[in-house]
Amino acid sequence: MTIMKTLKLTACAISLTATAVAAEDVEVLHWWTSGGEAAALNVLKDDLAGNDIGWQDMPVAGGGGGSAMTVLRARVTSGNAPTAVQMLGFDITDWAKEGALADLNALAGEQNWDDVIPAALQTFAKHDGKWVSAPVNVHSTNWVWANKALMDELGIEQPQTWEDMIAAMDKAKEAGKVALAHGGQAWQDATIFDAVAMATGGPEFYKAAFVDLDEEVLGSDTMKEAFDRMATLRGYVDDNFSGRDWNLATAMVINGDALFQLMGDWAKGEFLNADKVPGEDFACFRFPGTQEQVTFNSDQFAMFSQGEGVSDEQAYLAEAILSPTFQIAFNKVKGSVPARTDLDASELDACGQQGYEDFKAASASGNLYGSMAHGHANPAAIKNAMYDVITAHFNGEYDSATAVEELVTAVQINK
Protein backbone atom coordinates (compact mmCIF):
# COMPACT_ATOMS: atom_id res chain seq x y z
CA MET A 1 0.00 0.00 0.00
CA THR A 2 1.55 3.23 -1.12
CA ILE A 3 -0.11 5.30 1.60
CA MET A 4 1.25 2.95 4.26
CA LYS A 5 4.86 3.48 3.19
CA THR A 6 4.46 7.22 3.55
CA LEU A 7 2.74 6.80 6.88
CA LYS A 8 5.46 4.59 8.36
CA LEU A 9 8.11 7.12 7.36
CA THR A 10 6.26 10.09 8.79
CA ALA A 11 5.42 8.13 11.96
CA CYS A 12 9.14 7.92 12.81
CA ALA A 13 9.56 11.64 12.48
CA ILE A 14 6.66 12.69 14.68
CA SER A 15 6.91 12.74 18.45
CA LEU A 16 3.86 11.69 20.42
CA THR A 17 2.19 13.37 23.32
CA ALA A 18 0.16 11.21 25.67
CA THR A 19 -2.85 13.46 25.91
CA ALA A 20 -3.46 14.93 22.48
CA VAL A 21 -4.48 12.95 19.43
CA ALA A 22 -1.12 12.08 17.90
CA ALA A 23 -0.55 12.97 14.27
CA GLU A 24 -0.68 9.36 13.15
CA ASP A 25 -3.78 8.49 15.18
CA VAL A 26 -7.32 8.57 13.99
CA GLU A 27 -10.01 9.71 16.35
CA VAL A 28 -13.22 7.91 15.48
CA LEU A 29 -16.61 9.00 16.72
CA HIS A 30 -19.14 6.16 16.58
CA TRP A 31 -22.08 4.56 18.40
CA TRP A 32 -21.03 0.93 18.20
CA THR A 33 -21.11 0.06 21.88
CA SER A 34 -23.13 -3.18 22.12
CA GLY A 35 -21.31 -6.54 22.32
CA GLY A 36 -21.80 -7.38 18.64
CA GLU A 37 -21.03 -3.85 17.48
CA ALA A 38 -17.86 -3.65 19.57
CA ALA A 39 -16.70 -7.01 18.20
CA ALA A 40 -17.14 -5.69 14.66
CA LEU A 41 -15.35 -2.46 15.47
CA ASN A 42 -12.41 -4.49 16.77
CA VAL A 43 -11.92 -5.86 13.27
CA LEU A 44 -11.30 -2.30 12.10
CA LYS A 45 -9.20 -1.34 15.11
CA ASP A 46 -6.99 -4.41 14.60
CA ASP A 47 -6.56 -3.61 10.94
CA LEU A 48 -5.32 -0.13 11.79
CA ALA A 49 -3.15 -1.34 14.67
CA GLY A 50 -1.50 -3.80 12.28
CA ASN A 51 -0.46 -0.80 10.22
CA ASP A 52 0.84 1.32 13.08
CA ILE A 53 -2.07 3.73 13.16
CA GLY A 54 -3.35 4.49 16.65
CA TRP A 55 -7.05 4.55 17.42
CA GLN A 56 -8.56 7.22 19.63
CA ASP A 57 -11.96 5.91 20.55
CA MET A 58 -14.87 8.33 20.84
CA PRO A 59 -17.91 6.13 21.51
CA VAL A 60 -21.26 7.79 22.07
CA ALA A 61 -23.78 5.17 23.21
CA GLY A 62 -27.27 5.24 21.77
CA GLY A 63 -28.64 3.04 19.01
CA GLY A 64 -29.39 4.73 15.72
CA GLY A 65 -26.77 7.40 16.41
CA GLY A 66 -29.00 10.28 17.54
CA SER A 67 -26.81 11.07 20.56
CA ALA A 68 -23.64 10.66 18.51
CA MET A 69 -24.88 13.29 16.07
CA THR A 70 -25.58 15.72 18.92
CA VAL A 71 -22.07 15.25 20.29
CA LEU A 72 -20.63 15.67 16.81
CA ARG A 73 -22.39 19.02 16.34
CA ALA A 74 -20.94 20.24 19.64
CA ARG A 75 -17.43 19.09 18.71
CA VAL A 76 -17.48 20.77 15.32
CA THR A 77 -18.97 23.96 16.73
CA SER A 78 -16.10 24.18 19.22
CA GLY A 79 -13.59 23.78 16.39
CA ASN A 80 -12.54 20.28 17.39
CA ALA A 81 -13.94 17.89 14.80
CA PRO A 82 -12.99 14.21 15.13
CA THR A 83 -10.95 12.69 12.30
CA ALA A 84 -13.59 10.22 11.20
CA VAL A 85 -17.24 9.87 12.08
CA GLN A 86 -19.72 7.03 11.67
CA MET A 87 -22.63 8.55 9.83
CA LEU A 88 -25.84 7.71 8.03
CA GLY A 89 -27.45 8.93 4.80
CA PHE A 90 -28.74 12.48 4.91
CA ASP A 91 -26.46 13.41 7.82
CA ILE A 92 -23.51 12.92 5.47
CA THR A 93 -25.14 15.15 2.88
CA ASP A 94 -25.90 17.81 5.48
CA TRP A 95 -22.27 17.95 6.66
CA ALA A 96 -21.00 17.91 3.09
CA LYS A 97 -23.21 20.90 2.30
CA GLU A 98 -21.56 22.73 5.19
CA GLY A 99 -18.19 22.08 3.55
CA ALA A 100 -16.92 20.17 6.58
CA LEU A 101 -15.88 16.94 4.88
CA ALA A 102 -12.58 16.04 3.26
CA ASP A 103 -12.40 15.20 -0.44
CA LEU A 104 -11.60 11.50 -0.96
CA ASN A 105 -11.63 11.62 -4.76
CA ALA A 106 -7.94 10.83 -5.27
CA LEU A 107 -8.22 7.58 -3.32
CA ALA A 108 -11.65 6.73 -4.72
CA GLY A 109 -10.33 7.14 -8.26
CA GLU A 110 -7.24 5.03 -7.56
CA GLN A 111 -9.40 2.30 -6.01
CA ASN A 112 -12.24 2.45 -8.50
CA TRP A 113 -15.03 3.13 -5.99
CA ASP A 114 -17.34 4.37 -8.76
CA ASP A 115 -17.51 0.87 -10.20
CA VAL A 116 -17.76 -1.28 -7.09
CA ILE A 117 -19.98 0.74 -4.73
CA PRO A 118 -23.69 0.61 -5.64
CA ALA A 119 -25.45 3.77 -6.77
CA ALA A 120 -27.78 3.77 -3.74
CA LEU A 121 -24.74 4.23 -1.48
CA GLN A 122 -23.01 6.71 -3.77
CA THR A 123 -26.05 8.98 -3.42
CA PHE A 124 -24.88 9.68 0.12
CA ALA A 125 -21.13 8.98 -0.11
CA LYS A 126 -20.66 11.59 -2.87
CA HIS A 127 -21.54 15.24 -2.86
CA ASP A 128 -21.14 17.55 -5.83
CA GLY A 129 -19.09 14.89 -7.61
CA LYS A 130 -16.75 14.41 -4.64
CA TRP A 131 -16.44 11.30 -2.49
CA VAL A 132 -16.83 12.48 1.10
CA SER A 133 -17.30 9.20 2.99
CA ALA A 134 -16.29 5.57 2.91
CA PRO A 135 -19.21 3.10 3.13
CA VAL A 136 -18.46 0.24 5.48
CA ASN A 137 -21.61 -1.86 5.10
CA VAL A 138 -25.24 -2.18 4.11
CA HIS A 139 -27.80 -2.93 6.81
CA SER A 140 -31.51 -3.35 6.32
CA THR A 141 -34.31 -2.79 8.76
CA ASN A 142 -37.16 -5.03 7.55
CA TRP A 143 -36.09 -8.19 9.36
CA VAL A 144 -37.66 -10.41 11.99
CA TRP A 145 -35.33 -12.24 14.42
CA ALA A 146 -36.80 -15.32 16.05
CA ASN A 147 -35.87 -17.85 18.70
CA LYS A 148 -35.80 -21.14 16.78
CA ALA A 149 -36.34 -23.48 19.77
CA LEU A 150 -39.39 -21.48 20.80
CA MET A 151 -40.79 -21.56 17.28
CA ASP A 152 -40.37 -25.34 17.21
CA GLU A 153 -41.77 -25.83 20.70
CA LEU A 154 -44.88 -23.76 19.91
CA GLY A 155 -45.32 -25.24 16.42
CA ILE A 156 -44.74 -21.93 14.68
CA GLU A 157 -43.80 -21.86 10.99
CA GLN A 158 -42.13 -18.83 9.45
CA PRO A 159 -44.96 -16.27 9.07
CA GLN A 160 -45.74 -15.25 5.49
CA THR A 161 -48.45 -12.69 6.18
CA TRP A 162 -49.43 -10.13 8.80
CA GLU A 163 -52.12 -12.56 10.02
CA ASP A 164 -49.53 -15.35 10.38
CA MET A 165 -47.37 -12.99 12.38
CA ILE A 166 -50.21 -12.17 14.76
CA ALA A 167 -51.17 -15.86 15.12
CA ALA A 168 -47.56 -16.72 15.99
CA MET A 169 -47.36 -13.96 18.59
CA ASP A 170 -50.67 -15.08 20.10
CA LYS A 171 -49.20 -18.53 20.62
CA ALA A 172 -46.18 -17.08 22.39
CA LYS A 173 -48.36 -14.92 24.60
CA GLU A 174 -50.58 -17.87 25.54
CA ALA A 175 -47.46 -19.85 26.46
CA GLY A 176 -46.45 -17.07 28.87
CA LYS A 177 -43.60 -15.78 26.72
CA VAL A 178 -42.95 -12.25 25.53
CA ALA A 179 -44.23 -12.25 21.95
CA LEU A 180 -42.32 -9.19 20.79
CA ALA A 181 -39.04 -8.10 22.36
CA HIS A 182 -38.87 -4.36 21.96
CA GLY A 183 -37.16 -1.36 23.43
CA GLY A 184 -39.32 1.74 23.73
CA GLN A 185 -36.96 4.31 22.29
CA ALA A 186 -38.03 6.60 19.46
CA TRP A 187 -35.57 5.22 16.92
CA GLN A 188 -36.62 1.64 17.70
CA ASP A 189 -40.32 2.48 17.32
CA ALA A 190 -39.45 4.09 13.99
CA THR A 191 -37.44 1.04 12.93
CA ILE A 192 -40.55 -1.10 13.33
CA PHE A 193 -42.54 1.51 11.45
CA ASP A 194 -40.22 1.16 8.41
CA ALA A 195 -41.35 -2.44 7.95
CA VAL A 196 -44.97 -1.95 9.00
CA ALA A 197 -45.49 0.97 6.61
CA MET A 198 -43.80 -0.90 3.76
CA ALA A 199 -45.92 -4.00 4.38
CA THR A 200 -49.15 -2.05 4.76
CA GLY A 201 -48.87 0.22 1.73
CA GLY A 202 -46.20 -1.31 -0.49
CA PRO A 203 -43.12 0.32 -1.99
CA GLU A 204 -44.83 3.15 -3.89
CA PHE A 205 -46.65 4.21 -0.76
CA TYR A 206 -43.42 4.03 1.27
CA LYS A 207 -41.54 6.18 -1.21
CA ALA A 208 -44.33 8.71 -1.64
CA ALA A 209 -44.69 9.11 2.14
CA PHE A 210 -41.11 9.04 3.40
CA VAL A 211 -38.96 10.06 0.46
CA ASP A 212 -41.24 12.35 -1.56
CA LEU A 213 -43.07 13.57 1.57
CA ASP A 214 -46.37 13.62 -0.31
CA GLU A 215 -48.87 15.08 2.13
CA GLU A 216 -51.83 13.27 0.65
CA VAL A 217 -50.11 9.93 1.14
CA LEU A 218 -48.86 10.89 4.60
CA GLY A 219 -52.44 11.70 5.56
CA SER A 220 -54.04 8.71 3.85
CA ASP A 221 -56.18 5.88 5.18
CA THR A 222 -53.32 3.53 4.36
CA MET A 223 -51.11 5.48 6.76
CA LYS A 224 -53.84 5.21 9.36
CA GLU A 225 -53.89 1.46 8.84
CA ALA A 226 -50.11 1.36 9.34
CA PHE A 227 -50.57 3.15 12.66
CA ASP A 228 -53.36 0.71 13.57
CA ARG A 229 -50.91 -2.13 13.02
CA MET A 230 -48.39 -0.39 15.26
CA ALA A 231 -51.07 -0.25 17.97
CA THR A 232 -51.66 -3.97 17.48
CA LEU A 233 -47.93 -4.68 17.88
CA ARG A 234 -47.91 -2.57 21.04
CA GLY A 235 -50.19 -5.23 22.52
CA TYR A 236 -47.44 -7.86 22.21
CA VAL A 237 -44.56 -6.14 24.02
CA ASP A 238 -43.88 -6.71 27.72
CA ASP A 239 -44.58 -4.23 30.51
CA ASN A 240 -40.93 -3.25 30.88
CA PHE A 241 -40.29 -2.27 27.27
CA SER A 242 -40.01 1.46 27.88
CA GLY A 243 -36.48 2.82 27.38
CA ARG A 244 -34.91 -0.64 26.92
CA ASP A 245 -31.82 -0.73 24.69
CA TRP A 246 -32.21 -2.69 21.47
CA ASN A 247 -29.49 -5.20 22.33
CA LEU A 248 -31.24 -6.08 25.59
CA ALA A 249 -34.35 -6.79 23.55
CA THR A 250 -32.24 -9.02 21.30
CA ALA A 251 -30.95 -10.80 24.42
CA MET A 252 -34.55 -11.68 25.33
CA VAL A 253 -34.87 -13.55 22.03
CA ILE A 254 -31.43 -15.12 22.44
CA ASN A 255 -32.36 -16.38 25.93
CA GLY A 256 -35.71 -17.77 24.85
CA ASP A 257 -37.72 -15.27 26.92
CA ALA A 258 -39.17 -13.74 23.78
CA LEU A 259 -40.23 -15.07 20.39
CA PHE A 260 -39.54 -12.22 17.92
CA GLN A 261 -37.71 -8.95 17.57
CA LEU A 262 -38.27 -6.59 14.63
CA MET A 263 -34.89 -4.99 14.12
CA GLY A 264 -32.18 -4.24 11.58
CA ASP A 265 -29.58 -6.91 10.97
CA TRP A 266 -27.21 -5.43 13.52
CA ALA A 267 -29.29 -7.71 15.81
CA LYS A 268 -27.56 -10.64 14.15
CA GLY A 269 -24.26 -9.35 15.54
CA GLU A 270 -25.66 -9.95 19.05
CA PHE A 271 -26.71 -13.53 18.24
CA LEU A 272 -23.28 -14.27 16.78
CA ASN A 273 -21.54 -12.64 19.72
CA ALA A 274 -23.50 -15.07 21.95
CA ASP A 275 -22.26 -17.99 19.80
CA LYS A 276 -25.69 -18.62 18.29
CA VAL A 277 -26.00 -20.16 14.85
CA PRO A 278 -28.47 -18.93 12.21
CA GLY A 279 -30.94 -21.60 11.14
CA GLU A 280 -30.20 -23.61 14.30
CA ASP A 281 -30.58 -21.30 17.28
CA PHE A 282 -32.30 -18.40 15.59
CA ALA A 283 -34.17 -17.60 12.40
CA CYS A 284 -34.02 -14.49 10.26
CA PHE A 285 -36.69 -13.59 7.75
CA ARG A 286 -38.14 -10.53 6.10
CA PHE A 287 -41.08 -8.87 7.81
CA PRO A 288 -44.18 -10.47 6.24
CA GLY A 289 -45.40 -8.39 3.31
CA THR A 290 -41.91 -7.01 2.58
CA GLN A 291 -40.33 -10.18 1.19
CA GLU A 292 -39.40 -8.43 -2.07
CA GLN A 293 -38.28 -5.14 -0.56
CA VAL A 294 -35.22 -3.94 1.26
CA THR A 295 -35.29 -0.84 3.46
CA PHE A 296 -31.59 -0.19 3.78
CA ASN A 297 -29.13 1.97 5.64
CA SER A 298 -25.40 2.12 5.16
CA ASP A 299 -22.90 3.02 7.86
CA GLN A 300 -20.25 5.22 6.37
CA PHE A 301 -17.20 6.94 7.78
CA ALA A 302 -17.09 10.58 6.83
CA MET A 303 -13.69 12.24 7.13
CA PHE A 304 -13.75 15.72 8.60
CA SER A 305 -11.31 18.19 7.04
CA GLN A 306 -8.44 18.79 9.43
CA GLY A 307 -6.90 21.74 7.67
CA GLU A 308 -5.29 20.85 4.40
CA GLY A 309 -7.04 18.15 2.41
CA VAL A 310 -7.30 14.57 3.53
CA SER A 311 -4.60 13.37 5.94
CA ASP A 312 -2.61 10.20 5.31
CA GLU A 313 -4.32 8.54 8.27
CA GLN A 314 -7.78 9.41 6.97
CA ALA A 315 -6.86 8.10 3.55
CA TYR A 316 -5.57 4.89 5.07
CA LEU A 317 -8.71 4.43 7.15
CA ALA A 318 -10.87 4.92 4.05
CA GLU A 319 -8.71 2.56 2.03
CA ALA A 320 -8.85 -0.10 4.75
CA ILE A 321 -12.64 0.20 5.01
CA LEU A 322 -13.16 -0.52 1.33
CA SER A 323 -10.65 -3.33 1.03
CA PRO A 324 -12.37 -6.59 -0.05
CA THR A 325 -10.90 -8.67 2.78
CA PHE A 326 -11.94 -6.14 5.39
CA GLN A 327 -15.44 -5.84 3.93
CA ILE A 328 -16.01 -9.57 4.35
CA ALA A 329 -14.26 -9.87 7.74
CA PHE A 330 -16.13 -6.91 9.23
CA ASN A 331 -19.59 -7.63 7.88
CA LYS A 332 -19.45 -11.27 9.00
CA VAL A 333 -19.30 -9.99 12.56
CA LYS A 334 -21.49 -6.91 12.27
CA GLY A 335 -24.56 -8.61 10.76
CA SER A 336 -24.56 -6.34 7.73
CA VAL A 337 -23.50 -7.11 4.17
CA PRO A 338 -20.63 -5.62 2.17
CA ALA A 339 -20.87 -2.14 0.69
CA ARG A 340 -19.26 -3.42 -2.53
CA THR A 341 -21.24 -5.58 -4.91
CA ASP A 342 -18.25 -7.38 -6.44
CA LEU A 343 -17.39 -9.76 -3.60
CA ASP A 344 -17.71 -13.50 -3.10
CA ALA A 345 -20.26 -13.83 -0.28
CA SER A 346 -19.74 -17.54 0.35
CA GLU A 347 -18.03 -16.81 3.67
CA LEU A 348 -21.12 -15.04 5.01
CA ASP A 349 -23.62 -17.08 7.04
CA ALA A 350 -27.10 -17.97 5.77
CA CYS A 351 -28.71 -14.68 6.89
CA GLY A 352 -25.78 -12.71 5.47
CA GLN A 353 -25.95 -14.48 2.12
CA GLN A 354 -29.69 -13.85 1.96
CA GLY A 355 -29.12 -10.20 2.90
CA TYR A 356 -26.48 -9.75 0.18
CA GLU A 357 -28.68 -11.40 -2.47
CA ASP A 358 -31.78 -9.49 -1.33
CA PHE A 359 -29.87 -6.22 -1.53
CA LYS A 360 -28.58 -6.87 -5.04
CA ALA A 361 -31.98 -8.17 -6.26
CA ALA A 362 -33.91 -5.26 -4.74
CA SER A 363 -31.40 -2.86 -6.23
CA ALA A 364 -31.85 -4.40 -9.70
CA SER A 365 -35.67 -4.57 -9.54
CA GLY A 366 -36.27 -1.11 -8.10
CA ASN A 367 -37.26 -2.47 -4.68
CA LEU A 368 -34.50 -0.83 -2.69
CA TYR A 369 -35.61 2.02 -0.44
CA GLY A 370 -33.74 4.13 2.09
CA SER A 371 -34.75 3.47 5.69
CA MET A 372 -36.77 6.34 7.14
CA ALA A 373 -35.79 5.32 10.68
CA HIS A 374 -32.07 5.35 9.87
CA GLY A 375 -31.74 8.59 7.97
CA HIS A 376 -31.83 7.32 4.41
CA ALA A 377 -35.26 8.59 3.33
CA ASN A 378 -35.28 12.19 4.49
CA PRO A 379 -33.09 14.68 6.40
CA ALA A 380 -32.67 14.64 10.18
CA ALA A 381 -35.13 17.45 10.93
CA ILE A 382 -37.98 15.59 9.24
CA LYS A 383 -36.88 12.20 10.50
CA ASN A 384 -36.84 13.43 14.09
CA ALA A 385 -40.28 15.03 13.70
CA MET A 386 -41.58 11.70 12.38
CA TYR A 387 -39.97 9.88 15.33
CA ASP A 388 -41.91 12.10 17.74
CA VAL A 389 -45.25 11.23 16.16
CA ILE A 390 -44.55 7.50 15.85
CA THR A 391 -43.40 7.29 19.46
CA ALA A 392 -46.26 9.35 20.87
CA HIS A 393 -48.69 7.07 19.05
CA PHE A 394 -46.90 3.89 20.17
CA ASN A 395 -47.15 5.07 23.75
CA GLY A 396 -50.87 5.72 23.43
CA GLU A 397 -50.73 9.53 23.39
CA TYR A 398 -52.50 9.69 20.01
CA ASP A 399 -54.99 7.42 18.33
CA SER A 400 -54.19 6.46 14.73
CA ALA A 401 -56.34 9.22 13.18
CA THR A 402 -54.54 11.87 15.24
CA ALA A 403 -51.15 10.33 14.47
CA VAL A 404 -51.82 10.67 10.75
CA GLU A 405 -52.74 14.34 11.13
CA GLU A 406 -49.69 14.98 13.30
CA LEU A 407 -47.45 13.29 10.74
CA VAL A 408 -48.66 15.65 8.02
CA THR A 409 -48.13 18.65 10.29
CA ALA A 410 -44.67 17.46 11.31
CA VAL A 411 -43.60 17.29 7.69
CA GLN A 412 -45.19 20.64 6.78
CA ILE A 413 -43.31 22.39 9.59
CA ASN A 414 -39.93 20.83 8.89
CA LYS A 415 -39.85 20.59 5.11
Q: Which positions touch ligand GAL (CB under 6 A)?
A: 31-32, 37, 63-65, 88, 139, 266, 297, 299, 374
User: Sheet harboring 294-297: ordered strands across?
Assistant: 139-140, 294-297, 368-370
In order of 114, 145, 200, the CA distances from 290 in angstroms are: 29, 15, 9
Residue 65 or 82 having the CB closest to ligand GAL? 65
Residue 267 or 389 having the CB closest to ligand GAL? 267
Q: Min. distance of Cβ 181 from ligand GAL in angstroms?
A: 15
For residues 369 and 313, what is the distance between their CA atoms, to the nearest angstrom? 33
Residue 37 or 349 having the CB closest to ligand GAL? 37
In order of 18, 62, 168, 332, the CA distances from 37 in angstroms are: 27, 12, 30, 11
Q: Min. distance of Cβ 297 from ligand GAL in angstroms?
A: 5
Residue 8 or 73 having the CB closest to ligand GAL? 73
What are the percentages of helix, strand and coil residues in the chain, rounded to 5?
A: 55, 15, 30
Q: Min. distance of Cβ 272 from ligand GAL in angstroms?
A: 14
Residue 64 or 135 having the CB closest to ligand GAL? 64
Q: Min. distance of Cβ 81 from ligand GAL in angstroms?
A: 21
Residue 133 or 220 having the CB closest to ligand GAL? 133
DSSP string, 160-209: -SHHHHHHHHHHHHHTTSEEE---B-HHHHHHHHHHHHHHHHHHHHHIII
Q: Min. distance of Cβ 306 from ligand GAL in angstroms?
A: 25
For residues 29 and 161, what is the distance between their CA atoms, to the nearest angstrom? 40
By beta-carbon distance, which residue lies closest to ligand GAL? 63
Q: Min. distance of Cβ 262 from ligand GAL in angstroms?
A: 13
Residue 72 or 217 having the CB closest to ligand GAL? 72
Q: Report the residue count for the chain.
A: 415
394 burial (CB, 10 Å; 0-12 / 13-18 / 19+) is buried
For residues 257 and 32, what is the distance between their CA atoms, to the nearest angstrom? 25
Q: Min. distance of Cβ 90 from ligand GAL in angstroms?
A: 13
